[in-house]
């Protein structure tokens, strides 16, 4: 009889431990993001484009008129579908996860990125060159045309229209 009491007590303790562990997980998962922001941290809106980027954006919009939508700071994974299996696919997804393009030109009917635009810094920074090479390789693999612009350079509407191949023939 004592053995039965010991076994029953042990099973009860095990069931209680499992129940506590599961209920603790649910409480942690139920915690909202708003509760996770420390009181010492504040969030404020910030302009999505600097003044020079806004100028470039407006000239690009004029250059492509209504042929394309011009979107800014677009993550690669929002318009690239990565197909494959196994660890290779996961490796590519991880590699693309935090990468973005400065601007993309999207066909308004098809909703596909037709052209990508990368803005390189004016200094010739090796990181810029590496980023450009990497993005160029990715865009070639996806069959998307890439145009590169230099930061701090003024472009006319006509120059950009020709670069994006949307200029009206004269």
Same domain, 71 and 8: no
The reported pTM is 0.73
Query: Is position 42 within any domain?
Result: no
Query: Is position 108 within any domain?
Result: yes
List, for residues 52-81, the tens digit of each pLDDT value: 899 999 999 999 998 999 999 999 999 999
153 CB-near residues (< 8 Å, 6+ apart): 122
Query: Is position 15 within any domain?
Result: yes
Distance (Å, whole) CA 116 – CA 163: 12
From the list 128, 119, 125, the residue with the least C-alpha distance to 149 is 119
Same domain, 152 and 112: yes
Distance (Å, whole) CA 80 – CA 101: 12
Query: Is position 124 within any domain?
Result: yes
Number of domains in the chain: 2
Give the residue numbers spanning the domain of 18.
Answer: 2-36
Query: Is position 89 within any domain?
Result: yes
Query: Is position 115 within any domain?
Result: yes
Per-residue pLDDT 10s for the chain (170 aa) are 666 665 566 666 666 777 777 766 555 544 666 678 888 888 899 999 999 899 999 999 999 998 999 999 999 999 999 999 889 999 999 999 999 999 999 999 999 999 999 998 877 677 778 888 999 999 999 999 999 998 888 999 999 999 999 877 65
């Amino acid at each position: 009889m004592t053995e039965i009491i010991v076994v029953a007590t042990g099973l009860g303790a095990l069931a209680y431990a499992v129940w506590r562990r599961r209920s603790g997980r649910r409480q942690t998962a139920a915690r909202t993001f708003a509760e996770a922001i420390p009181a010492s941290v504040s969030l404020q809106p910030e302009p999505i484009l600097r003044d020079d980027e806004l100028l470039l954006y407006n000239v690009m919009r004029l250059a492509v008129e209504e042929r394309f939508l011009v979107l800014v700071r677009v993550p690669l994974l929002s318009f690239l579908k990565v197909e494959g299996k196994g660890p290779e696919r996961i490796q590519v997804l991880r590699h693309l996860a935090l990468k973005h393009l400065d601007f993309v030109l999207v066909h308004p009917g098809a909703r596909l990125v037709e052209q990508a635009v990368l803005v390189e810094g004016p200094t010739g920074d090796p990181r810029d060159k590496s980023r450009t090479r990497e993005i160029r390789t990715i865009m070639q693999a996806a069959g998307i045309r890439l145009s590169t612009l230099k930061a701090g350079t003024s472009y006319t509407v006509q120059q950009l229209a020709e670069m994006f191949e949307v200029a009206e023939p004269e």
